[in-house]
Chain A
Amino acid sequence: VSRRRIWTLVRREVRATFRDPFTVSILITVPIVALLAFSFVISSEVHGLRLAVLDGDRSPESRRLIADIGATGWFVPEPTATRGEIERALRGGRLRVGLVVPADFSRRLREGRAPEVQLLYDGAEPVLAGNAEGALRAVVAASGAQLVRHSAPRRGVQVTTGVLFNPRLAGTPYMVAGTFGFVLSFLTTLITAVTIVGERLSGTFDQLQVTPATSLEILLGKLLPLGAIFAVDVVLMMLVAGALFGVWPAGNALFFIAVSSFYVLVSLSLGLIFSATSNTAAEAVEKTVLFSIPLVQLSGFAFPVRNMPTAVQWLSELFPATHYIRVSRGIYLRGEGPIDLFPELVMLAIFGLVLLLLARRTLEARA
């Protein structure tokens, strides 16, 4: 391996990348757009959800209950006249939640018997319905306890809760940490696949192979500059997430950048393999996209791996992205260090080694 030849190849690669304004704009906009799009999409909170209310009692007590529900800001009560109206609103998807207060609500309260209220949810949106159920049940219980003057001790066990790492259960940090995994897996693979196939089509790749450079040097000459560019992307994303959403890594930022840069090399090698085995740019892209559907779905980016059937869990362990996303969440959310993350780091190293060797082999086979 000659250091001078690698340096020449690196300079050539950097120049080729920055000459194409489209690639440069993709490299800057995609990570930022991905951060903006993904950061807000999950939430465990309900806010300002419209609630159809059928008050069959119209007593001070029932109005008090409805006012208490509205006062939380989680729900906006909308009075309705009949059950049929609620049913139509739920079916048409105009409303997601309904509350029916029976006519004997206040009478039963005065008699010391627990009145029954009915909560109706749109089960077609399970996540929304589940979140709304938790919130609505809590308000009804709290408001009900105040309505009963002779407040009796409740059946059951009181639970005092504490939440570590993310006390408000905000969705943003979780998604920000995952987005690194998404961008560094998908964009890297796609960009390498497309640029290298483009070079092969225009013949510049063949020109490289007749130079005295060895396949390892060509490989490093490709990977190192692209790796450096994506390392800059990592820092850019960290700054955007920190400045816009106030999400900074809980752990060591330098450790995070180091692991991420190594992971970039892993997925760049994957892109090299895809492109070396494709004849057209469209084919390379098709391979990358087909590969990235399970990548997004099975890597734990959107759906926790834990929830999957055992066989699928094993499958997802075979994606380097699964391990990187675990590492990035560990550092970003729980502030973990190299010792806590040791098994995942070892896995990433193994993937890196295997994929680099494979990439070199495919390049040699092409020569």
Chain B
Amino acid sequence: MIGWIRRRLSNVLAVAYREALVLRHDKGFLASVLVQPVTMLLLFGFALSYTPANVPWAVLDRSDTTASRRLIEDVRTTGYFLPPTPVYGYAQGRALLERGDALALLVIPQDFRRDIAAGRPQVQLLVDGSDPITAARVLGYVGQVAAHFDTRRVDGAERIARTAAVDARPRFWFNSTLRDRDFFMAIMAGMLLTNLCLSISALNIVGERESGTFEQTLSLPVSTLEIVLGKLLPLVGVSYALLTVAVLGAGLMFGIWPKGSWIALGLATLPFVLASMAVGVFVSSMARTTAQAVFISVFFILPSFVLSGVMFPYELMPPAIRALGFVFPLRWYQIALRRIIARGAGLEDVLGPCGALLVIFGVLLLGIRWRLKPRLA
């Protein structure tokens, strides 16, 4: 039994050694391993965000009093808005909204100050709903500014302000300012590893089949599964290097270090890398040409980014779409990454996702054996 295992292992290692030699001379591979982490860290660290900024808006101030000007100033100083465009009629404001030159129109009525004195001030806010995420946030920001607008400071309106019936105190754990950068940095490794594992392993076998070297390897006294495992082994090493780059990059550039166990991070990565590479090999076994393999893997990578929850929270998706996302290895890995990196979880918290990843890996291995076998005949 031990001899059998040792024989198998040496077969796998021999294939792995050959594979490492090939990879070291692949310029495209080296470039993508070096360039991609830097691009992604810069993009997601500095450039991309869901938080509205530079929002253009318009104000129709019919009251034109200190009180109304202070309300406008309060909205502007939230920092999400550009200086407002003053408009002098409803139609003019609506035209700005329709052209997309303003995202929101704040209408302050003529009686604003008298309404404050009477204790029922009201303003109207029109927003462009075509970008729903920004629109919802803008509604929220203006609503909060208005709710906290201190009507007592308006002279001539000596009123005793009464607070809301129930005082709700929000606290945001793990990321108190809700910065999008933390959201993206937590799963940076997941995105980079998906790209690496899928594109490399998908191209690998098809490319070899096209150049005929795969048949040569098949003539060796090793089994198909040993070849596949041997091919994957050097990539596992590269994957851990990439994980280190992603974690160090986020830590050194943005000060976002994993809050939880580093050991758990390392352990959870292995089943994910194996499962992703198995997807790549499976794709490779389905495709006849390199071009086809690329197409299939690219169109696997994209939905897995979109549906796994790395870019958009999956809990807000409709149930069917949410369920569909569970077939992608990235879904489970992003759950594990956010637990470890963002929330400080330990190994016992990520056992579930790791188990799911191993199941995906196992199913794919069976699929690969079934797909590659007939070609031996």
CB pair B49 A91 closer than 8 Å: no
Residue contact A165 to B321, C-beta cutoff 8 Å: no
Contacts A123-B173, A126-B179, A131-B316 hold; do A162 and B124 have CB atoms under 8 A apart?
Answer: yes
A293-310 Cβ-contact flags toward B at 8 Å (1 or 0): 110011000111011110
CB distance from B1 to the nearest CB of A (A): 40
Kindly state whether residue A211 has any CB partner on chain B within 8 Å: no
Give Cα A96–Cα B196 distance, bound, in whole angstroms: 31
Task: Establish whether residues A119 and B171, one from each chain, have CB atoms under 8 Å apart when the complex forms.
Answer: yes
Q: Which B288-306 residues have C-beta < 8 A from chain A?
A: 288-292, 294-295, 298-299, 302-303, 306
CB-based contact A41/B317 at 8 Å: yes
If A144-B164, A174-B131 touch, does A155 touch B151 (CB 8 Å cutoff)?
Answer: yes
Q: How far is the CB of A139 from chain B (nearest CB, A)?
A: 10
CB–CB B49/A44 < 8 A: no
Q: Mark B338-373, 1 if CB is under 8 A from A, else 0.
A: 110011110001000000000000000000000000
Closest-CB distance, A76 to chain B (whole angstroms)? 12
A227 contacts the other chain (CB 8 A) = no
In the bound assembly, the distance between CA atoms of A44 and B136 in angstroms comes to: 7
Cβ of B168 under 8 Å from chain A: yes
Contact A116 B169 (CB under 8 A): yes
Partner of A127, one of B39, B131, B316: B316
B223 contacts chain A at the CB level, 8 A cutoff: no
- Contact check: which of B28, B47, B162 meets A308 at CB < 8 Å? B47
Task: Please pick, from B100, B150, B163, B313, the residue contacting A330 in the complex, using a CB distance under 8 A.
Answer: B100
- A-B contacts counted at CB < 8 A amount to 335
**CB < 8 Å: which of B51, B127, B165, B170 contacts A121?**
B170
* With contact pairs A163-B135, A169-B136, A334-B100 given, residues A129 and B178 touching in the complex (Cβ less than 8 Å): yes
- CB contacts (< 8 Å) of B39 on chain A: these are 293-294
**A119 engages B169 (CB within 8 Å):** yes
Nearest CB in chain A: distance from B222 CB, A? 26
Chain B interface: which size bin? 35 or more
Mark out the residues of chain A between 323 and 359 whose CB falls within 8 Å of any chain B CB in the assembled complex: 329-330, 333-334, 336, 340
Residues of A within 8 A of B199 (CB): 289
Contact A165 B128 (CB under 8 A): yes
Distance of A333 Cα from B148 Cα, bound (Å):
33
Given known A44-B133, A164-B97, A307-B51, contact A93–B335 (CB-CB < 8 A): yes
B175: CB under 8 A from chain A?
Answer: yes
Contact assessment for B136 and A161 in the assembled complex, using a CB-CB cutoff below 8 Å: no
The stretch from B5-13, B14-22, B180-188, B262-270 touching chain A is: B180-188
Cβ of B4 within 8 Å of any chain A Cβ, yes or no, is no
Q: Which residues of chain A are near B290, meaning CB under 8 Å?
A: 281-282, 285
Assuming the contacts A144-B165, A157-B147, asked whether A312 and B132 have C-beta atoms less than 8 A apart, the reply is no
Q: Is B166 a contact of A37 with CB atoms below 8 Å?
A: no
The contact of B306 among A37, A134, A283, by CB within 8 Å, is: A37
Interface 1/0 per residue, A108-149 and B, CB below 8 Å: 000000111111111111111111011011001101110110
Contact with A along B108-130 (1 / 0, CB 8 A): 00000000100111111111111
Interface size on A, residues (CB 8 A): 103
Cβ-defined contact, A158 with B343, below 8 A: no
Asked if A312 and B46 sit within 8 Å, CB to CB, the answer is yes
Residue B143 at the chain A interface, CB threshold 8 Å: yes
Whether the pair B150, A155 counts as a contact (CB closer than 8 A) is yes
Contact: B168 with A119, CB < 8 Å? yes
Q: A303-B48, A309-B46 are in contact. Are A37 and B169 (CB under 8 A)?
A: no
Q: Name which residue of chain A comes closest to B318, CB basis.
A: A40
Some 29 contacts from A to B, beta carbons below 8 A apart, are A90-B343, A91-B345, A93-B349, A96-B315, A121-B172, A124-B174, A124-B182, A128-B313, A128-B315, A141-B168, A145-B165, A148-B165, A154-B165, A155-B149, A155-B151, A159-B123, A161-B125, A164-B127, A165-B128, A169-B135, A190-B298, A198-B289, A281-B291, A282-B294, A285-B290, A286-B32, A297-B48, A298-B47, A307-B54
User: Top 8 A-B pairs ranked by shortest CB distance?
Assistant: A144-B166, A123-B175, A166-B129, A124-B342, A333-B130, A144-B165, A123-B172, A44-B136
Which B residues are within 8 Å of any A CB, using their own CB?
A: 28, 32, 35, 39-40, 43, 46-55, 71, 94, 97-100, 116, 119-137, 139-140, 142-143, 146-151, 161-180, 182-183, 186, 199, 203, 207, 288-292, 294-295, 298-299, 302-303, 306-307, 311-313, 315-318, 321, 335, 338-339, 342-345, 349
